[in-house]
A and B are shown apart, each in its own frame.
Chain A
Amino acid sequence: MSAIKPINQKAWWLVLPVVICVAFSAVLPLMTVVNYSLQDIISPERRVFVGTEWFAAVMRDEDLHAALWRQLTFSLAVLTVEIPLGIMLALSMPARGWKASAVLVIVALSLLIPWNVVGTIWQIFGRTDIGLLGAMLEKMGFDYSYTGNATQAWLTVLTMDVWHWTPLVALLCYAGLRSIPDAYYQAARIDGASKFAVFRYIQLPKMRGVLMIAVLLRFMDSFMIYTEPFVLTGGGPGNATTFLSEFLTQKAVGQFDVGPAAAFSLIYFLIILLLCFILYNWMQRVGTADKEGAGHE
């Protein structure tokens, strides 16, 4: 027995700073939310414990279902547009010289603009009286109105997000492309590979890591989108651009239904966690699928 090292209980003290930090930054706020979600707070003095009642109510809420579907469709649309567009952009950016620096700065510009300013820019941009986009569409004979037409509002929010965030995808892909050694391109030329083969067998596999980061970042960000549509459309017309965060805020701050809002925000949190987990694992699989396929031959 003497060979076993005595357990040093004092070492626990070393973990303490992390425990305190995480407690204050994550666990305590989360527990407050859990606390709200289990009670009906009628007034500061009168609280009733309601168990999972709020959760059950929220799950049955038709408006929430609609918001969730709207959100999923939106995030999916964001990914299907921004990822290929970002890759194409990165592929067409110059590799070196002053042109590369100039293009990098120009591409990165939209990333430097705060969310609420982006919303404001597009609000003005889309106006049919003074906005460049709105007035132009009007002149071309389109009956454009992001405040009146649900589809057009949804499309405007999507376009705004694409404009704002595609550069992030492009920059990530650009970094991935630049890290490919020249020898790969030279070897591909020697092997007589077509442009498409170079993309399919060299550039895309080498970008896998950064693409995974891009997909996850864009998915999470778009799933939590709030400020831009709030400024642009305020969630309207009707509920057309009321995404999950907007919905949640309306519940918690607008109607002060703290209980259902807390229950829903926990569900929201779990949905994001689950989807990220699925996405991450799926993307990890994509890269190694060939290996498994080969193993079964």
Chain B
Amino acid sequence: MARIDLDLAHSYLPDPQQDADYALLPLQMCFEDGGAYALLGPSGCGKTTMLNIMSGLLAPSRGSVKFDGEDVTQRSPQQRNIAQVFQFPVIYDTMTVADNLAFPLRNRKMPEAQIKKRVGEIAEMLELSGQLNRRAADLAADAKQKISLGRGLVRPDVSAVLFDEPLTVIDPHLKWQLRRKLKQIHHELKLTLIYVTHDQVEALTFADQVMVMTRGRAVQVGSADALFERPQHTFVGHFIGSPGMNFLPARAVGGTLEVAGRTLALPPNLALLGLPEGDLKLGIRPEYVALSAAGDPAALPVVVMQALDIGTHILLTGQSASSNLTIKARLSPELAAPQRGDTVWLRVLEAHTCFYKNEELIP
């Protein structure tokens, strides 16, 4: 187990000129010993690159990787003593399930009695005990992936276990179960776990700290709560939440705010922020948008485009009459659902409203 410090950049090109040439832009990051982390971002954002750099499969083109303060940038995965589980199951076809699980231990010359015990424990944990003597190649995809997971977890002394979207091939119902299992394993073994995914639910339920990445950049590291309440970057607002945050172009003039052709009065707590004058973006989660009385100085009039009753809430999509802005809101199902074509007033200024300049949060 180890604390992992990254201070690096990586490009797959020999001579990167601009930001777009980098798979990973310069970043500094610290993964604390025993933490459960998730790297979250869309495909191609650099999360797998980062994982491969940590495990040593890939050498960063610049900078260093440190385990417990010791520079390991040039060391192989084996020397780093790291475990990694890949997106698609990797099993050794000719071996039995038990031999597959024992393989990383045998390669490290662990005594056979200890291997047997350890394999038994891991198989028990992953519910593979009944299949230990079967040939791994004959099993279904999800069982194979469980073997891959098992091989990642079987070494008790690893620096960290890295998961690269390990549940992609698993059934939804089993996914939930395995994720809980991983969480439980983390609790029991206090391993450093780093989990790459593009699924926000997976990331937010698994990890204590989530790192959101886009285009080779880590835009925010924080708890689920922080990512939801105070997105540091408009991308985080978009990406986290379903639907994502509403972003409305706005203009701060004196103590007032112009949004969609309407001048809104800033409530005192927001006025105290001292917003910079000029163009901004107003961000508010659909969960915090509320219906309001006509003429409310913190609300905007919108025409209802769609009101979907999703059971737990009503998802309302409205379009501002004066501009083409759409606003989404999650309304309580107890309210009478507005009809398509109605004009309603939606309150967008309140305690949870965030403001962004150049896509970054104004603190």
Contact = CB atoms under 8 A, between A and B. Distances in A.
Given A191-B104, A191-B151, A186 B57 contact: yes
B256 interface: no
A217 to B, nearest CB: 23
Contacts of A295: 133
B136 to A, nearest CB: 10
A190 B77 contact: yes
A181 B84 contact: no
Of B78, B87, B92, the most chain A CB neighbours within 10 A belong to B92
Contacts of A206: 93
A187 B86 contact: yes
A293 B56 CA distance: 37
B95 A189 contact: no
B108 interface: yes
Interface in A186-221: 186-187, 189-194, 197, 201-202, 205-206
Interface string B59-83: 0000000000000000011100011
A193 B107 contact: yes
A290 interface: yes
Contacts, number: 68
A152 to B, nearest CB: 42
A109 B87 CA distance: 40
Contact of B90 (A183, A192, A197, A287): A183
Interface in A270-297: 287-288, 290-291, 294-295, 297
B46 to A, nearest CB: 17
B184 to A, nearest CB: 23
A190 B152 CA distance: 9
Interface residues of B, number: 30
Given A206-B93, A290-B94, A189 B107 contact: no
B104 A192 contact: yes
Contacts of B138: 291
Contact of B133 (A184, A192, A287, A297): A297
A189 B78 CA distance: 7
B49 interface: no
Given A181-B88, A183-B88, A186-B57, A193 B103 contact: yes
B152 to A, nearest CB: 8
B107 A191 contact: yes
Given A186-B57, A189-B76, A297-B133, A205 B107 contact: no
- Give 4 nearest A-B pairs by CB, closest first: A192-B107, A187-B90, A291-B135, A191-B104
B84 to A, nearest CB: 5
A258 B247 CA distance: 93
Nearest to B84: A190
Given A181-B88, A201-B94, A205-B93, A190 B55 contact: yes
B96 A184 contact: no
Interface in B72-129: 76-78, 82-84, 86-88, 90, 92-96, 103-104, 107-108
A283 B78 CA distance: 35
A166 B239 CA distance: 56
17 contacts: A183-B87, A183-B88, A186-B57, A187-B84, A189-B56, A189-B77, A190-B57, A190-B78, A190-B82, A190-B152, A192-B78, A197-B107, A201-B103, A202-B92, A291-B135, A294-B133, A297-B133
Nearest to A291: B135
A206 B138 CA distance: 15
Of A181, A191, A205, the most chain B CB neighbours within 10 A belong to A191
A287 B94 contact: yes
B148 interface: yes
Given A189-B76, A190-B83, A290 B96 contact: yes
A189 B133 contact: no
A183 B135 contact: no
Given A187-B148, A291-B135, A194 B92 contact: no
Interface in A217-244: none
Interface in A43-102: none
B134 interface: yes
Interface string B15-56: 000000000000000000000000000000000000010011
A193 B134 CA distance: 22
Contacts of A297: 133
Contacts of A194: 107
Contacts of A288: 135
A155 B354 CA distance: 84
B94 A192 contact: no
Contacts of B108: 192
Contacts of B93: 201, 205-206
B95 A201 contact: yes
A186 B83 CA distance: 11
B100 to A, nearest CB: 9
A294 B96 contact: yes
A216 B342 CA distance: 77
